[in-house]
Chain A
Amino acid sequence: MNQSVKEWFESRTGLGRIFHKEMVEYRVPKGLTLPYSLGMLAVLFFVIQIISGIFVLMYYKPDAKLAFDSVNYTIVQVVPWGWFLRSLHAVGAGFFMAIIYTHMFTGVYYNAYKNPRQLIWITGWVIYMVTILLVLTGYLLPQGQLSYWASEVVSEMPTAIPLDIMDKVSLWIKGGFSVGDITITRFFALHVVLLPLLLIVLVFLHMQFFHQTGVTSADGREVHGNEKETVPFIYVTLKEGVIIAIVLAAFSYFIFFNPAPFTPSANFAPADPMRTPAHIAPEWYLTAFYEIFRSIPGKFLGFMATNMFLIFLLLLPILDTSKKKSATKRPLFYFMYLLFLLSFAVLSIEGTQPDTAQSIVIGQVFFFINMLFFVSLPVIAHFEKKKEAIQ
């Protein structure tokens, strides 16, 4: 009976065949470590965001005068378990970004952008950009002081480019001369419809490209198609399951005990266009960019410097011409990579602090170090090639 039911479904859906193809036929290297689970974790948190977002959406009101109360009163205090949904969405966004950054930095460590994986890297970069837009548009929605002023700053960003049309672009983003009701509905539509749909398509493409080229071993060897060095993917899911359960335990700690780091206190003040806060900083995942922007003299130069980080990230497949994969076998690269990580961490932390002369110097120094990593890649590759030729 069971078998016939199974066959009945299989002949009509083909789901069993897909499962077999993805879980058994698809093979990954043996001995994969925690960093290889980050992609799966990112997908999990994206799903958590969608589910929690749908429930929050049922009570949220995209209106300049109602949004703040709908979040802080209706959802958190009136709706049964609303506090949980809000925490799930807010903490989930923080975890999602943390995992995306760690996934991206791990990709740099393992040189996951090199031939034949350029398209995986490029789609990953686009996912990162769309996610930033997703969090930026979502950030305005609670209509707190931080929401308002952060959106004001972001929507003014295009005007840093000295072209007349940029004023119109800024105006178009806001839907008026300042952030208001139209901006909220505009950002709301992007946040709940367009950007998530785009992200779903991009994640699908990212995974498809990843399946096509396979994964390198932790020490950078191409083992795709080598049965001896690989195992069916289903075995790895067990290991990933352990990691996912541990991350979810940590996630639960923040939801039930300490959601405050993900719901900044300054955003509990209702948005007030007439009162600029003394100190304002974006959410932590953008503070590195903010620090670069404010430490480089001149609005245009600051804007360009901020974008240089993103452009260089995209250009990694071209900048790093070394054939070696993974930092484990590239000591020079490893050293520069540590400097890159450290500079990003310092910029992110300094960006949360008030604007002082000291923070400007720190911003400039660590921006220089950050750029040094990208610029040094062709030089490192040259040295590595020379060393290989000698050997």
Chain B
Amino acid sequence: MKFLRSIPIVIILGGLFYALWSGILEPSEWKVPQSAEIIKAKVGEAQLIKEGSKIFKTSCAACHSLRYKKIYPFFVNAPNVKPLFKILMKEHNGFLTRDVYESAFALQLEGLKAAFGSVPPDLSTAYVYLGEGKLFNIIKNPQKVLPGTKMPNMQLNDKQVLAVSAFMKTAILPTAKETSRRHLIGIIVIIFFIILAILLALYRKVVFEEDNIEE
């Protein structure tokens, strides 16, 4: 009877935590088209990342930085900026923090702002905050997702868009190899705790029996 009373409580609290932690409350408005998903499966992530790296460096980096991958807009190659950029890269080990980057290249960033209405954002974390679906659709057709944006349509095909997206993912999320490594560690740790729970339960039983303790 006591057990029955706890069932509704477990259902309510369990349901609450499931709803909050399973992600079902945040359905994504934008999706990667089925045709692109097929291409993704066929080409493979490693190949897409390689291709995406090239496209990003030759197209997206015209305006955007990807600081977590140490990629900066084309303006850093201008003759009047390059010496400073080289010194900064050397001093900061290739990664320019936001304060250094924004203050050293304030003029150039203002120039981009004048052309586009706002400074094209750094895309290091964009894959996560936009989500794969929205990011795909922005790259494919910026005006459709961001009405009024001055970001040009780069006329990339589905495979190229997927490649850029896969490359941007590597700036913030671990690679497939690293993810597998973490999962493997996770499995070992979880098994350890489960075995520990079983051993403790058995030990408790023995101790309770030996010391004649009622449950």
Contacts and interface: CB of A to CB of B under 8 A. Distances in A.
Contacts of A102: 13
Given A102-B13, A269-B129, A338-B9, A253 B200 contact: no
Given A245-B200, A256-B183, A261 B13 contact: no
Nearest to B13: A102
B83 interface: no
Looking at chain B's contact residues, the main secondary structure is helix
Contact of B16 (A31, A231, A267, A349): A349
Interface of B: 2, 5, 8-9, 12-13, 15-17, 19-23, 25-26, 67-68, 95, 97-99, 102, 121-122, 124-126, 128-129, 131, 172, 174, 182-183, 185-187, 189-190, 193-194, 196-197, 200-201, 203-204, 207-208, 211, 213-215
A328 interface: yes
A257 B184 CA distance: 10
A226 B195 CA distance: 35
Interface stretch (A9-17, A61-69, A208-216, A316-324): A61-69
A333 B174 CA distance: 50
Contacts of A327: 5
A159 interface: no
A246 B193 contact: yes
B189 A256 contact: yes
A1 to B, nearest CB: 28
Contact of B213 (A63, A72, A235, A248): A235
A243 to B, nearest CB: 8
A265 interface: yes
Nearest to B122: A270
Given A246-B197, A349-B20, A266 B129 contact: yes
Contacts of B183: 256-257
A252 B99 CA distance: 36
B12 A338 contact: yes
A128 to B, nearest CB: 16
Contacts of A94: 21
Contact of A65 (B9, B20, B97, B215): B97
Contacts of B126: 269
A255 B188 CA distance: 13
Interface residues of A, number: 57
Nearest to B206: A238
B119 to A, nearest CB: 11
Interface of A: 30-31, 63, 65-66, 68-69, 72-73, 77, 83, 94, 98, 102, 105, 109, 145, 218-219, 231, 235, 238-239, 241-242, 245-246, 248-249, 252-257, 260-262, 265-270, 284, 327-328, 334, 338, 341-342, 344-345, 348-349, 352-353
Nearest to A288: B16
Nearest to A31: B215
Nearest to A272: B121
A218 B9 contact: no
A246 to B, nearest CB: 5
A27 B201 CA distance: 20
Contacts of A241: 200, 204
Given A238-B203, A334-B5, A344-B16, 9 more contacts: A65-B97, A69-B67, A69-B98, A98-B17, A235-B208, A238-B207, A249-B194, A253-B186, A254-B21
